[in-house]
Chains A and B, each alone.
Chain A
Amino acid sequence: MDFGPFLLLALMEGLVTAAVLALTASGLSLVFGIMRVVNVAHGAFFMLGAVLAWFVAEWLPGPPALAFAAALVFCPLVVGAIAAIADMAVLKRLNYEPEATIVATIGLLYILEQAALSLFGPDARPVEAPFSFRLQLPWFGYSGYKLAVVVAAALVLLGVWLILKHSRAGLLMRATQEDRDTARAFGINVDRVYAGVFAMGAGLAAIAAVLIVPISQAHYLMGGDPLLLSFIVVIIGGLGSLRGTLVAALLIGLSDGVISTFFAPTLAKIIATLVVALVLVFRPQGLFGKRAA
């Protein structure tokens, strides 16, 4: 294949990675931005979404598209509910102290992974894609499902943006993010906002997982890479900045696609880590983050 088409293929692969990464990382960024909680269990919520999608696909008879659509609704709701319970049962009791919540979410990560191992088993299991359409370009054919993942991720992110900027719930979240004590002084139930945000963050990871699982299979340890890449993205983009998260996800996703295709996936991870190091040294607040006062 010539260089041009090869580059196009690499960019398309990178775009799929970027789309899923943007969804996953926006959940992490949202939780940190509003709650100031570094959620180490975020990758486990991602994994849970994929594993639940497999269960739904197994148990629901009918065409794969039906099971997939059901998983796309059911998994984020269940994962979000689990996250909300974890928030109320654990994080709230720790008064959202930064160090304590890091330790607590590490514990949550292990609990969720071990629960998945017990119920789901150690094997990677495939989930059938809802459709098998192939886009035929002059140089190569490309999975229509992968392009659908990009469109779906973009629509979900647009929805998140609309909720944050133009809904009552979003206004409550932004006010709580600004100053939780003052928010309480104006009748905002901050505990409920936090539970909702933690659920929303986990739900976004679950949606990303359901979208990607027909491409990458479900496995109880699959949350590690998305967690690491999400941290890379939110550090580069600026913790708590949704815009920064999107830009950094595109940057990391596209570079990952291109470098993995032309060189090696390991090199892509090395370069991403190097970029994080440079950002931490020269712009610790991230590309779009606010400098601490």
Chain B
Amino acid sequence: MLRLDDIDAGYGAVAVLHGLTLSVASGEVLCVMGRNGAGKSTMLKAIIGQIRAGAGTITLDGMRIDGLPAHQVPRHGIGYVPQGRRLFGGLTVAENIEIGLMTRRRDVRVREKVLALFPRLRERMGQMARTLSGGEQQMLAIARALCLEPKVLLLDEPTEGLQPSMITLIRDTVLTLKAEGVATILVEQRVDAALSVADRLAFMVGGRVAEVLDAGGLTPDAPAFARHVGV
């Protein structure tokens, strides 16, 4: 589905990713973990086209997407939930959803399907996004990304600062999408949250993938977590 081969990328003269290679298949949840500064968020930004890969290739179903203008990447089916949500805070919930639907020609069916996953948003449609609670904002950030009907969903620390009930809702949503065949790359710092959904775990160190493990059978006290995440 989505494949990154030997990617170098960074911010101006500051190189962050060094020969990063990674792939995620349809219906798979790949959880990416690592310490701060390992390059997890930078990798997602490289996929979505917010920063340019200086070397290497990014392919989606065999088609190169690393050279596309950033606004064309989501049109090929990549949904992105940025760290810190980055909602359009001055726009209403309905308008945020509408922005998500723009590549889908405002398809009512998609809208209804997404709102069925997050019924609380339906009660907040006229409310400014910045006035929502943290949990509701995360719901909206995910709902907005799902409006793209993504083949690949990129989630950057979606459980950060949320209460347990919200974390459960996000986990259930990821599992629902997995059952529908959506490939998910989940950047996560919480080991329990990662293990509850991941098929595989990729540990990043210094801008490259240091280790990839199957999640099945792993426990939170596995040595890999202590080695790469510091728990």
Contact = CB atoms under 8 A, between A and B. Distances in A.
B11 to A, nearest CB: 13
Nearest to A188: B71
A128 B103 CA distance: 48
Contacts of B148: 186-187
A185 B144 CA distance: 11
Interface stretch (A77-85, A116-124, A172-180, A202-210): A172-180
Contact of A174 (B48, B80, B82, B90): B90
Given A171-B99, A175-B99, A186 B89 contact: no
Interface string B41-85: 000000011100000000000000000011111110000101000
A186 B98 contact: no
A182 interface: yes
Nearest to B101: A186
A184 interface: yes
A232 to B, nearest CB: 25
Interface residues of B, number: 25
B190 interface: no
Nearest to B90: A178
Given A171-B95, A171-B98, A187 B90 contact: no
Interface in B99-125: 99-100, 102-103
A178 B50 contact: no
Contacts of A190: 71
Contact of A189 (B71, B86, B99): B71
Interface of B: 48-50, 69-75, 80, 82, 86, 88-91, 95, 98-100, 102-103, 144, 148
Interface of A: 168, 171-172, 174-175, 177-179, 181-190
The 10 closest A-B pairs by CB, nearest first: A187-B103, A184-B70, A178-B88, A187-B74, A182-B86, A184-B71, A185-B80, A189-B71, A175-B88, A175-B99
